[in-house]
């Protein structure tokens, strides 16, 4: 399988190449040249497979020759063997038509583990083959950072520099990053928002003073391998609800548009998805873009669902490229305009293409608290604020009553205990797998939101490519 950039001018790469590259050299994001397809019979044949086997089957066409079938299956078994539930991503029923897909049974309690546990193993496998070193730079609104650090701490050939917005992640999220003591892990708290941190990271990929000495890699959802791994649980849950013979809708708490884009990929591969609901909090650029075509970034409002406190959603570019006729040079121009003005209007073909599958809804703090209470009172489920935003959107959706709606439960409620306690007066316990998080010592460096300072900090500490 070959991968091309959404901005048309970067070299096409194979799966190993895109996994190690992250962002394309022209500033675009990689996508497979074409979508692999499964027939109805092939999908029906996947029912009942253990998660790791299903994962290997769905990912095989994307991985191509970069790994043998046995290698891929073995990496999936290692990655998903670390989950605390045998089903890996269990499905829980809320009422006649509403379901929760629990994606938080990994080591750091959010769905990011599903992709990053595998990505850590892919990095190690490819780097040991090439005998080279990778410098991961990442920005996190909380959950990517902890999942990525857990996935690469102590691994050969990888250094990780993780930027988080100082004071804007929950205490559990911060401690899950800053209490991991491994020589290859570097936590940086920067002044500013997640978007500021993400903009710095993006700039590093095209900063020659770094790229000439270091091989810079990405763990954000700009990395294709992450999205690929997330496609699997759309299949896993839809199969349990009757696919390929029955349509399923999904409601996805959305920030950087990675998770919901994986749903789009599943639909492209043949999974019968009737609708993908993009659920946002008051940081609603995606809701505005999908309703009026107006993609313009405002300022970020901090909320109780910090992993969705995002105005610029990197992966939206992948959708616009795919829906807009895959025209790399037009996309490059549209994004250049956006980078200068922080605003753009979707083209008609982009709007129509997106509207075939996507709808959207926005939840404010009251909607969120109400959904947490509803899940608790009606179904005895304690859900986190991100999941609650998804559930609120699922409850508002205009979908045939015979179609089940699956809300992606993206984080464990204990990760956001304060917000859950405010809504239902109950403080969820941290699962035993996170251990003595509050007794361990933290280590991180506070830096101002200045690009040069952050870049120099990294350049002084990273290991050259080889
Ligand atoms: C990352 C995250 C999201 C947003 O996912 P995207 O792929 O960025 O859209 C939602 N909820 C939680 C808990 C997250 O960690």
DSSP assignment string, 263-285: HHHHHHTT--EEEEEEEE-S--H
Cα pseudo-dihedral 455, 460, 461, 466, rounded to 10: 100
Shortest-distance atom of ligand 1 to CA 384: 13
User: In the chain, what percentage of residues exceed pLDDT 70?
Assistant: 100
Is residue 270 one of the residues assigned to a domain?
yes
The three-state DSSP-derived secondary structure of 67-110 is CCHHHHHHHHHHHHHCCCCCCCCCEEECCCCEEEEECCCCCCCE
Distance of alpha carbon 174 from alpha carbon 350, whole angstroms:
38
Is residue 161 one of the residues assigned to a domain?
no
The answer to which of 57-71, 253-267, 288-302, 447-461 has the lowest mean pLDDT is: 288-302
Give yes or no for residue 309 having a pLDDT over 90. Answer: no
Tell me the best of 147, 256, 412 to mutate to test the pocket of ligand 1, counting ligand atoms within 8 Å of each CB and taking the most.
Answer: 256
CB atoms within 10 A of CB 98: 21
pLDDT score at 159: 96
CA of 114 to the centre of ligand 1 (A): 12
Six-digit token string for 192: 């500013």
Give yes or no for residue 22 having a pLDDT over 90. Answer: no
User: For residue range 208-254, what is the model confidence (pLDDT) as tens digits?
Assistant: 999 999 999 999 888 999 999 999 999 999 999 999 999 999 999 99
pLDDT score at 312: 87
* Displacement of CA 158 from its chain's centroid (Å): 21
Mean pLDDT of 418-441: 93
| CA-based nearest residue to 99, from 249, 221, 247, 201 | 249
Distance of alpha carbon 258 from alpha carbon 221, whole angstroms:
6
Q: How confident is the model at residue 435 (pLDDT cuts 50, 70, 90)?
A: confident
The answer to which of 25-29, 46-50, 61-65 has the lowest mean pLDDT is: 25-29
Mean pLDDT of 451-463: 97
Is residue 7 one of the residues assigned to a domain?
no
User: In the chain, what percentage of residues exceed pLDDT 90?
Assistant: 90
Say whether 358 sits in a helix, a strand or coil: strand
Distance of alpha carbon 368 from alpha carbon 363, whole angstroms:
6
Note if the bond before 12 is cis, omega within 30 degrees.
Answer: no
Q: How confident is the model at residue 23 (pLDDT cuts 50, 70, 90)?
A: confident
| CA-based nearest residue to 252, from 390, 114, 110 | 390
Is residue 148 one of the residues assigned to a domain?
no
Distance of alpha carbon 126 from alpha carbon 17, whole angstroms:
9
Show the domain range for 248.
91-109+224-424
Backbone torsions φ then ψ of 351, nearest 5 degrees: -65, -45
Q: What is the CA radius of gyration of the chain?
A: 20
Give yes or no for residue 423 having a pLDDT over 80. Answer: yes
CA of 303 to the centre of ligand 1 (A): 14
> Ligand 1, atom 2: nearest CA belongs to which residue?
307
Is residue 174 one of the residues assigned to a domain?
no
User: Contact 148/138 with Cβ under 8 angstroms?
Assistant: yes
Q: How many structural domains are present in the chain?
A: 1
pLDDT score at 221: 87
Tell me the best of 103, 104, 111, 250 to mutate to test the pocket of ligand 1, counting ligand atoms within 8 Å of each CB and taking the most.
Answer: 111
Is residue 13 one of the residues assigned to a domain?
no
Give yes or no for residue 194 having a pLDDT over 90. Answer: no
pLDDT score at 171: 87
Q: How confident is the model at residue 400 (pLDDT cuts 50, 70, 90)?
A: very high
Q: How confident is the model at residue 195 (pLDDT cuts 50, 70, 90)?
A: confident
326: domain CATH number is 3.40.50.1100
Q: How confident is the model at residue 1 (pLDDT cuts 50, 70, 90)?
A: very high
| CA-based nearest residue to 192, from 299, 66, 273, 32 | 299
Distance of alpha carbon 236 from alpha carbon 119, whole angstroms:
19
Opening angle at CA 382, ends 379 and 385, nearest 5: 120
CB atoms within 10 A of CB 288: 16
Is residue 169 one of the residues assigned to a domain?
no
The answer to which of 255-264, 296-305, 326-335 has the lowest mean pLDDT is: 296-305
User: Contact 232/101 with Cβ under 8 angstroms?
Assistant: no
pLDDT score at 396: 96
Q: How confident is the model at residue 325 (pLDDT cuts 50, 70, 90)?
A: very high
Report the catalytic residues.
Answer: 112
Give yes or no for residue 142 having a pLDDT over 80. Answer: no
Opening angle at CA 28, ends 219 and 55, nearest 5: 45
Question: What is the 3-state composition of the chain as percent helix, strand, coil, each rounded to the nearest 5?
Answer: 45, 15, 40
Give yes or no for residue 436 having a pLDDT over 80. Answer: yes
Is residue 290 one of the residues assigned to a domain?
yes
Tell me the best of 103, 228, 306, 308 to mutate to test the pocket of ligand 1, counting ligand atoms within 8 Å of each CB and taking the most.
Answer: 308
What are the distances in angstroms from CA 136 to CA 140, 263, 432? 12, 26, 29
CA of 144 to the centre of ligand 1 (A): 8
Mean pLDDT of 427-436: 91
Backbone torsions φ then ψ of 267, nearest 5 degrees: -65, -40
| CA-based nearest residue to 368, from 410, 429, 422 | 422
Ligand 1 residue neighbourhood (C-beta within 6 Å) = 110, 112, 143, 221, 253-259, 307-308, 386, 410-411
User: For residue range 263-302, what is the model confidence (pLDDT) as tens digits?
Assistant: 999 999 999 999 999 999 999 999 999 999 999 998 889 8
Mean pLDDT of 442-452: 97
pLDDT score at 310: 85
Q: How confident is the model at residue 73 (pLDDT cuts 50, 70, 90)?
A: very high
Distance of alpha carbon 412 from alpha carbon 430, whole angstroms:
9
What would you measure as the largest C-alpha separation in the chain, in angstroms? 58
């Amino acid at each position: 399988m070959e991968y091309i950039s959404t901005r048309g001018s970067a070299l096409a790469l194979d799966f190993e190449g895109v996994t190690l590259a992250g962002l394309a050299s022209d500033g675009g994001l990689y996508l497979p040249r074409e979508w692999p397809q499964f027939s109805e019979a092939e999908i029906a044949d996947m029912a009942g497979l253990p998660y790791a086997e299903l994962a290997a089957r769905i990912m095989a066409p994307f991985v191509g020759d970069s790994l043998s079938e046995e290698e891929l299956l073995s990496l999936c078994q290692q990655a998903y063997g670390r989950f605390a539930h045998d089903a890996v991503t269990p499905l829980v029923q809320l009422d006649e038509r509403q379901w929760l897909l629990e994606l938080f049974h990994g080591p750091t309690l959010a769905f990011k583990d599903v992709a990053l546990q595998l990505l850590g193993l892919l990095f190690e496998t490819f780097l040991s083959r090439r005998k080279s070193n990778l410098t991961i730079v990442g920005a996190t609104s909380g959950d990517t950072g902890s999942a990525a650090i857990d996935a690469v701490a102590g691994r050969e050939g990888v250094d990780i520099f993780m930027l988080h917005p100082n004071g804007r992640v929950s205490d559990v999220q911060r401690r899950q990053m800053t209490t991991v003591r491994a020589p290859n892990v570097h936590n940086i708290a920067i002044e500013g928002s997640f978007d500021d941190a993400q903009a710095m990271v993006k700039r590093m990929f095209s900063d020659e003073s770094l790229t000439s000495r270091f091989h810079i890699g990405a763990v954000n959802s700009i990395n294709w391998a992450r999205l690929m791994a997330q496609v699997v649980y759309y299949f896993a849950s839809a199969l349990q609800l009757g696919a390929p013979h029955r349509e399923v809708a999904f409601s996805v708490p959305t920030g950087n548009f990675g998770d919901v884009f994986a749903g789009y990929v599943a639909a492209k591969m043949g999974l019968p998805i009737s609708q993908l609901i993009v659920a946002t909090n008051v940081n609603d650029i995606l809701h505005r873009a999908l309703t009026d075509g107006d993609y313009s970034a405002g300022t970020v409002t901090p909320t109780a669902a910090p992993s969705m406190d995002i105005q610029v959603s990197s992966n939206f570019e992948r959708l616009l490229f795919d829906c807009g006729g895959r025209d790399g040079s037009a996309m490059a121009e549209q994004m250049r305009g956006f980078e200068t003005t922080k605003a753009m209007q979707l083209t008609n073909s982009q709007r129509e293409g997106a509207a075939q599958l996507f709808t959207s809804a926005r939840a404010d703090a009251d909607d969120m608290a109400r959904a947490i209470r509803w899940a608790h009172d009606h179904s005895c489920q304690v859900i986190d604020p991100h999941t609650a935003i998804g559930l609120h959107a699922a409850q508002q959706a205009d979908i045939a009553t015979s179609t089940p709606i699956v809300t992606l439960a993206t984080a464990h409620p204990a990760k956001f205990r304060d917000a859950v306690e405010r809504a239902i007066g109950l403080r969820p316990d941290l699962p035993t797998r996170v251990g003595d998080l509050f007794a361990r010592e933290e280590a991180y460096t506070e830096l101002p939101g200045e690009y040069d300072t952050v870049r120099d900090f990294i350049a002084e500490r990273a290991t050259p490519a080889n």
